[in-house]
Structure 1
Amino acid sequence: MVTGAKPRAAVLTALPEEYEAVRSHLVRLEKRPHRLGTVVEVGESPGCPWPVAIAEFGEGGRTAAALTERIVTWLEPEVLFFTGIAGGLKEDLALGDVVVAAKVHAYGGGKQAPDGLLARPESWPAAHALEQAARSALRQGESHWVGRVPVGPPAPDGAAKPPRVHFKPLASGDVLLNSSDCALRDQLHRTYNDAVAIEMESAGFAHAAHLAGCPSLAVRGISDRADGSKYDTDGRGYRERAAAHAAAAVMAVIAELARFRTTTEHSPAAATASSRTPSDVQVADALEDFTDMAGLEFRRNVLAMLRDRLALTHPLGIPEQTMARDHLMLIARGLRQSREPSAAHRALYGVMADLRPNDRALVRLHDVLGL
């Protein structure tokens, strides 16, 4: 992995054993601190071309929401995952099974009325492309992905069999459920009866990812029954086993996504599309996303750097305009009409990368120029 490579996927966790389960799949790890203190590691999984970022946030939906938003705006991954353990709510789930959240229910909302709590459900479906990749990678009968579970201590009784994968809803809220007879369990049965497992972070994660427009998927391993037996099952090793199964599933899905997208990116259609010269309007729109482009002096600096990068001995021949939009249209036209438009576009991208290397606008410019 190239130092400083941009992660294409980010995997978020709440607990140390969840983090370590994901980390065990990665090599050549590189720590990256955010200016506000959040720390991630970026590494690569053998056989998968995508750099992957991993983070551990601690428990709770509010923390998950706040730091999910930070990861999206900071690292700008293409896809997001939250993985870890969960309590099973249905008898047909075995300890160690994996739940891929077809949707995430936030069960905490409601109105307390004289006749009881009136639920006000809020739910977020899984991103279609991620769910489809998960169905492809984790299809029943194709248990090769279980081989991604790292070798470790002997599995607890009954957990040595390959885990089954369930594409079902999760219930999520800031309560650790460990009782078979309580108001919350009754509420889940009445109002969120399709939920097969319960945990604490995925609602905040899914909400933040949805608001940020980033495709997301929650994947959980069943570590207990949420019925009072949690400490017994934890003591028998199911907590670590469930975290390992969920992490293995996530890494298999990321590998599947990388295969899908690599094939698409190198298809004849993609090659044809990338060879097309973008329109002047598209290039001007992309440049306008750089807020400093509103200033004439900044645009002059861009043109000077562009000339140097192209090793020209003569002016670019692009007339100045005080109106930013008019000037950007002239710049786009001048580059398109140059002797080698593709070289001019690569030079433009290089100049903007030097000036604003962390700007989200740089990603759009890269895509518009077909680089």
Structure 2
Amino acid sequence: MADAERMAAVLTALPEEYEAVRSHLVRPETRAHRLGTLVEVGELPGCPWPVAIAECGEGGRTAAALTERIASWLEPEALFFVGIAGGLKDELALGDVVVAAKVHAYGGGKATSDGFLARPESMRPAHALEQAARSALRRGTSRWTDRVITGPPAPTAVPKVHFRPLASGDVLLNSAECALREQLHHTYNDAVAIEMESAGFAHAAHLADCPHLAIRGISDRADGTKYDTDRQGYQERAAAHAAAAVMAVITEFARHRPAATRSAPAAPASARTPSSDVRVADALEAFTGMAGLEFRRQVLAMVEDRLALEHPLGIPEQTVARDHLVLIARALRQSREPSSARRALYEVMADLRPNEQALVRLREVLGL
């Protein structure tokens, strides 16, 4: 895959949303976290980065938990939540796309004898991501709609893109007259759409110090007609529009993203140099049998055993040996005791391949 060290990650809640995103990826491969979370990582034509996708299910708490896990596991350059939403304003047509200029977490407040007193919490996306979205989805110059993979019902007009706030909370709104709708009207009047996951997602991404953006397609009007529009296929249509939009944004963002942008804790110069991982991977690749996934699994298991680790390192497997070896080298470098990890790696290879010349090179690059 292109640029194995850098990627974007897209989270969805529903199967329809996941499939809409997945349909844009080429040669997706499944990766498993040690706690069971599964993602698919595939190539996006025209984009220098691979894209990881995950389906987390409905609700803000689940979205927050999976966002934090994927941020710490895959360390993506940017996180996106993509899917459908209910429209709150008449100017939004079914199938239009909303790029969240803000995400309002509307559930916070205080219940008193005078009524419910809202305590608004709102989160904005990273400026660079919002700028990439404005560039990629700009009317008159963008061809992002060419990416839309057709499905029912046939669109009657080109979908519009709205850079407006979203309201997000763990309530499915499907009524034109209810207390929640009144609360949104009076306290979050700038919100043009409502959904359930982006508040948890945005909060977790912020804590992970990862650029994030929510993009939603309008599938209903949150006014009691949701099930009618769902039967007409507007969920699939809205999900297809949002998926096409996020792919255009990822491609635009990747083209302009500087090489070193994420902050990291201070570390020795040798540890901060990404080429050190590449040199270790080169040295490991020279050993007989390293091209086989089973052999790499054996090496990793023996290293973990020698380090007396209670839990696996959680390194995502790669069918391409070089990509896998780079991830192994990075995980050992970032472990609690890098010197012990380097020594363990060398000792394991010395046990498995004691007579190979590659041992000399490995010892050199590990600084032993």
Give the whole-Å Cα distance in 2 for the aligned partners of 1:190 and 1:166: 21
When Rg is computed on C-alpha atoms for both structures, the one with the higher figure is 1
Give the whole-Å Cα distance in 2 for the aligned partners of 1:135 and 1:34: 34
**Structure 1 runs of 4+ with >6 Å offset:** none
- Once the two structures are superposed, the pairs formed by residues 103-122 of structure 1 within 5 Å of their partners are 103-122=102-121
Give the whole-Å Cα distance in 2 for the aligned partners of 1:38 and 1:50: 21
Determine the structure 2 residue equivalent to 1:348. none
Determine the structure 2 residue equivalent to 1:358. 331
Deviation at 1:360, TM superposition (A): 8.1
Alpha-carbon deviations, 1:56-94, whole Å to 9, x = none? 000000000011000000000010000000000001000
CA contact (8 A) 1:176 1:200 kept: yes
CA contact (8 A) 2:97 2:161 kept: yes
Change (3 A) 1:361 1:238: same
CA contact (8 A) 1:219 1:246 kept: yes
Determine the structure 1 residue equivalent to 2:55. 56
Determine the structure 2 residue equivalent to 1:92. 91
Query: Which one of the candidate residues 150, 156, 160 is aligned to 1:160?
Result: 156
2:268 paired with 1:284: yes
Q: Secondary structure at the match of 1:130?
A: helix
| Aligned residues with identical type, % of pairs | 73
Change (3 A) 1:84 1:284: same
Give the whole-Å Cα distance in 1 for the aligned partners of 2:143 and 2:238: 17
Aligned partner letter, 1:167: F
Give the whole-Å Cα distance in 2 for the aligned partners of 1:359 and 1:152: 46
Deviation at 1:361, TM superposition (A): 4.2
Q: Secondary structure at the match of 1:248?
A: helix
2:19 paired with 1:43: no
CA contact (8 A) 1:7 1:52 kept: no
Alpha-carbon deviations, 1:171-199, whole Å to 9, x = none? 00000000000000000001000100000
- Once the two structures are superposed, the pairs formed by residues 1-371 of structure 1 within 5 Å of their partners are 1=1, 5-6=4-5, 8-155=7-154, 159-261=155-257, 284=268, 287=271, 356-358=329-331, 361=334
Q: Secondary structure at the match of 1:228?
A: coil
Aligned partner letter, 1:358: A
Q: Secondary structure at the match of 1:357?
A: helix
Q: Which moved more, 1:247-256 or 1:134-143?
A: 134-143
Aligned partner letter, 2:115: G
Deviation at 1:151, TM superposition (A): 3.1
Deviation at 1:257, TM superposition (A): 1.1
CA-atom RMSD, angstroms? 2.8
Give the whole-Å Cα distance in 2 for the aligned partners of 1:5 and 1:288: 17
Change (3 A) 1:354 1:127: closer
CA contact (8 A) 2:152 2:234 kept: no
Query: Aligned residues, how many?
Result: 286
Q: Which moved more, 1:137-146 or 1:46-55?
A: 137-146
Alpha-carbon deviations, 1:287-310, whole Å to 9, x = none? 499xxxxxxxxxxxx9xx9xx99x
Alpha-carbon deviations, 1:137-194, whole Å to 9, x = none? 0001134111101133451xxx331100000000000000000000000000010001
Determine the structure 2 residue equivalent to 1:292. none
Alpha-carbon deviations, 1:311-355, whole Å to 9, x = none? xxxxxxxxxxxxxxxxxxxxxxxxxxxxxxxxxxxxxxxxx9687
Change (3 A) 1:7 1:58: farther
CA contact (8 A) 1:7 1:42 kept: no
Q: Which runs of 5+ in 2 are unaligned?
A: 261-265, 285-324, 339-368
Q: Which runs of 5+ in 1 are unaligned?
A: 271-281, 290-301, 310-351, 366-371
Q: Output the TM-score relative to the length of structure 1.
A: 0.72
Deviation at 1:258, TM superposition (A): 1.8
Aligned partner letter, 2:193: A
CA contact (8 A) 2:152 2:237 kept: no
Determine the structure 2 residue equivalent to 1:315. none
Give the whole-Å Cα distance in 2 for the aligned partners of 1:153 and 1:210: 36
Give the whole-Å Cα distance in 2 for the aligned partners of 1:241 and 1:200: 19
